[in-house]
Amino acid sequence: MIFEATAIEGAFVVRAERRVDERGFFARVWCRDEFAAHGMAVDMVQASVSHNTHAGTLRGMHYALPPAREGKLVRCERGRVHDVLVDLRRGGASYLRHVALELDDASRDAIYIPPGVAHGFQTLVDDCQVLYMMSESYRPELAAGVRFDDPAFGLRWPLPVRVIAQRDRDYADYARELPGAAR
């Protein structure tokens, strides 16, 4: 695997190194030892899949409140998505910085999202499927989010938002002193 650092501290694009032959290709997409060698000592304990019927569907921006330490490895298994991370870790070098990238089923690239960083994506084509691997089991009482169009972040989405959960649409404006700001 190839790990490329992003502008957000601890977030990496993870590219699979393909071994190609007449059958197709083989590539490692997860290795605890390789992640640890890049400063990410994580064990994935849960995996989830998100199927999205329509282009323009937006999911996010989600993160887990402390004491959760949920890291995520996210990959687009079918289709193409515009993936966004926002660093909510106060006091860090990349606090309130955001990173956007495209994930698709052709490249099979993934993004590692460290704890305290909000994550969301917008589908760019119909019939998208996104795979999440998480370092902690989901705890609904610690689930939080920030609004996808909050002016505090200046996020730009490539398509009009066609489908979004009411919860994601209704998050309050982000304020640095709110308990939802990750520590």
* The pLDDT of residue 178 is above 80: no
Parse the chain into domains and list their residue ranges.
Answer: 42-169
Which residues, listed in sequence order, are joined to residue 112 by a DSSP beta bridge?
12, 73
Tell me the per-residue pLDDT of 98-108, one tens digit each, with 9 for 90 and over: 999 999 999 99
Helix (H, G, I), strand (E, B) or coil at 169: helix
Question: Which class is 42-169 in CATH?
Answer: mainly beta
Tell me the per-residue pLDDT of 48-97, one tens digit each, with 9 for 90 and over: 999 999 999 999 999 999 999 999 999 999 999 999 999 999 999 999 99
Task: Name residue 37's amino acid.
Answer: A
- Neighbour-count burial for 77-95, b at 16+ CB within 10 Å, e otherwise: ebbbbbbbbbbbbeebebb
Q: Residue 42's pLDDT is what?
A: 81
Q: Residue 103's pLDDT is what?
A: 98
Q: Residue 121: which of 43, 28, 47, 51 has the closest Cα?
A: 51
Would you place residue 45 in the very low, low, confident or very high pLDDT band (cuts 50, 70, 90)? very high
143 CB contacts (<8 Å, ≥6 apart)? Answer: 62, 64, 65
Tell me the per-residue pLDDT of 2-34, one tens digit each, with 9 for 90 and over: 999 999 999 999 999 999 999 999 999 999 999
Q: Residue 176's pLDDT is what?
A: 56
Sheet-wide strand order for 12-15:
2-5, 12-15, 110-113, 72-78, 128-134, 46-52
- Site of tokens 């990410």: 40
* The pLDDT of residue 182 is above 90: no
Instruction: Return the H-helix or E-strand segment holding 6.
Output: none
Catalytic residues: 62, 132
Give the global pTM.
0.92
